[in-house]
Amino acid sequence: MNFLEKIKIELAKEINKILGGENIAVSDFEYPPEGIGGDLSLPCFNLAKENKKSPVELAKEISEKIKIGKNVAKVEPVGPYVNFFLDQTKISKIVLEQILKEKEKYGEGKIGKNQKVMIEFSNANTHKEYHVGHLRNLCYGDAVNRILSASGYKSIPVSYINDFGIHVAKTLWAYDKFYAKEKIPNNKGHFLGEIYARAVKEIGDSEESKKEVGGLMRKIESRKGKEYKLWQKTRQWSIKQFSSIYKELGVKFDQIFYESEVIDEGREMVDDLIKKNVLIKSQGAIIADLEKYGLGVLMFLRSDGTALYPVADIPLAIKKFKKYKLDKSIYVVDVRQGLYFKQLFKVLNQLGFKQEMIHLGYEFVKLSSGMMSSRTGNVITYETLWEEAMERAKSETKIRHENWSEKQIEAVAEKIVIGAIKFEMIKVGKEKIITFDANEALRFEGFTAAYIQYTYARISSIIRKAGAAKKIQFSKIEFGNLKEISEHKLSIALAKFSEAIEKASASYNPATLAEYLYSLAKCFNDFYRDVPVLKADNEVRLARVALLEATRIVLENGLNLLGIEAPERM
């Protein structure tokens, strides 16, 4: 439980005594907006109705009757609100000592109660281009996984790769027709994406071409012959590309599943599901009739015998539940699949799986020129984005550090680029469309990763000049020397970190944490503008360095939860 939470509990108990009931909950407290004053605020609108008084009258009554606790210095009514001013010296001491003691563990919680949660994300397709749109899934899923782990869940990150769909046959059809005799480039995964885009254009509405693609798919599904061998070879091209991207972005999976590994088991399972009356035959197709649940019809097999998504998704889900003994299963897939996952979860419920199943649907990433599509080739590929962003980041770094070696410049530029990519993909809620702008993503000011990273590097530089943080005996510091209002605001901001993690975890929304880190960075920069650190008297300087070190720890912890590195120099 974080420190501010404890204070809210104490205040709630005290106010409930005054009102003679259990009217107040911890969630009723708010943080006053800038300029209002106070560290905590209690709105009295609902309470006033229950107590048959005006909000202003009740706020005044509570302010007059409440006993100031050990952590509260002052209480005052402001219209219909009760504002609480926390004791600056006590708050600074408790918060900073906790951060400096717990270090990388600060902010971690236990709300997950060690529940096993599997989060499936980065469900990419082999034989297609990996583009900017895929990065939202990857970065969002990775951040949620990290935040859940920090909140006391046993989070298991996995990926599910679609390597056996009709898109594969389209790509290999075009490869055989137009590229079989060409020299294969080094970036084979990118090459397959180009072929797929051409395949879609070439096939168009041609029934003959579609028939050829269908025949090729059946040959691949037979798992023998030259077509199957070509599938095996080209599949590895995509898998190698995915692995390279995951490594570059620091994303790790406990397990990667492939459609080709479960599809045959799913086909065998269909007959069993028919016997159990979970599936029925309808006009030659095999379906789950979910009309009575308001979920329409979910098709498993078309009338020509070709399989759809649930044929693989059902056995995979069962495998997950049985092997990992999950309490909760989360799927990170775009919003277009909302109905599908409701249908899938209902079928799994009918099979006896009652664990919580969640679809985290996120909105699209589009370019300023319009929606992206692998079919049309209207995409920014991952490779193109990476190369352009690295060139820009290196150029910016060279300007700031003319004496740095190429190796130093490359290392920092890489951290800036990874931070920019990830932050742009998670700084807005999943329900909002992202219009991706590479120039915006790499800005060093405003709501960007670079601004937060630069703040971290700036703090690290100040601490180095003040003397290595490890040499400072923080236990002997007199925190009563932190008397400035900007110091108090920064201490309060640091105290809110674990609360930000809890909110992000409960709502599966890393944007909450991104917003917190940006706010904290701004709060620090306001503090550093207002008061001297290195030129302050010795005792005050030590207390302020401790405040800087605590801020540095929280920024690093928060960035790590978003999968972003905090550079010491920038």
- What average pLDDT values come out for the chain (570 residues) when binned by 10 residues? 89 93 90 88 92 94 90 94 95 94 96 97 94 94 98 98 95 96 92 93 95 94 95 97 97 97 96 96 97 98 91 97 97 97 98 97 82 59 90 92 95 96 96 86 88 97 81 77 96 97 98 98 97 93 95 98 96
Pairwise CA distance, residues 567 & 407, whole Å: 14
Q: Are residues 170 and 222 in the same domain?
A: yes
Angle between helices 485-495 and 88-102 (to 10 degrees): 50
Which residues form the domain of 453? 395-561
Q: Are residues 410 and 553 in the same domain?
A: yes
Strand-by-strand arrangement of the 297-301 sheet: 280-282, 285-289, 297-301
Report yes or no on 306 lying in a domain: no
Residues 6+ away with beta carbon under 8 Å from 43: 28, 30, 55, 80, 81
Q: Are residues 75 and 197 in the same domain?
A: no
Contact (CB, 8 A) for 104 and 143 = no
Last residue of a domain, one of 28, 62, 86: 86
Report yes or no on 283 lying in a domain: no
Strand bridging mode 116-120 / 81-86: unpaired
Q: 25: domain CATH number?
A: 3.30.1360.70
Report yes or no on 103 lying in a domain: no
Report yes or no on 248 lying in a domain: yes
Pairwise CA distance, residues 515 & 518, whole Å: 5
Report yes or no on 523 lying in a domain: yes
Q: Are residues 361 and 401 in the same domain?
A: no
Q: In degrees rounded to 5, what are phi and psi of residue 78?
A: -130, 90
Pairwise CA distance, residues 310 & 36, whole Å: 55
Q: Are residues 192 and 248 in the same domain?
A: yes
What token pair was written down for 75? 């209480």
Q: How far is CA 122 from CA 126, 275, 332, 438, 561, in A?
A: 12, 34, 8, 21, 18
Residue (of 492, 512, 558, 520) closest to 2 by Cα position: 492
Pairwise CA distance, residues 238 & 231, whole Å: 11
Query: For position 421, what pLDDT does the model report?
Result: 95
Q: Is 506 helix (H, G, I), strand (E, B) or coil?
A: helix
Last residue of a domain, one of 40, 64, 86: 86
Last residue of a domain, one of 37, 70, 86: 86
Q: Let me know if 284 is exposed, middle or buried by CB neighbors in 10 A (0-12, 13-18, 19+).
A: exposed
Query: For position 458, what pLDDT does the model report?
Result: 97
Length of the chain: 570
Q: Are residues 320 and 431 in the same domain?
A: no
Q: Are residues 64 and 170 in the same domain?
A: no
- 160-194 core/surface letters (b: 16 or more CB in 10 A; e: else): bbbbbbebbbbbbbbbeeebeeeeeeebebbbbbb
Q: How many domains is the chain built from?
A: 3
Query: For position 373, what pLDDT does the model report?
Result: 57
Query: For position 84, what pLDDT does the model report?
Result: 97
Report yes or no on 387 lying in a domain: no
Q: Are residues 150 and 231 in the same domain?
A: yes
Q: Are residues 342 and 399 in the same domain?
A: no
Q: Are residues 175 and 317 in the same domain?
A: yes
Contact (CB, 8 A) for 460 and 556 = no
Q: Which residue reads 């990667």 in tokens?
A: 256
Report yes or no on 270 lying in a domain: no
Pairwise CA distance, residues 401 & 405, whole Å: 9
Report yes or no on 537 lying in a domain: yes
Pairwise CA distance, residues 286 & 309, whole Å: 13
Q: 478: domain CATH number?
A: 1.10.730.10
Strand bridging mode 434-436 / 365-367: parallel
Q: Are residues 72 and 133 in the same domain?
A: no
Q: Are residues 364 and 400 in the same domain?
A: no
pTM of the shown model: 0.94
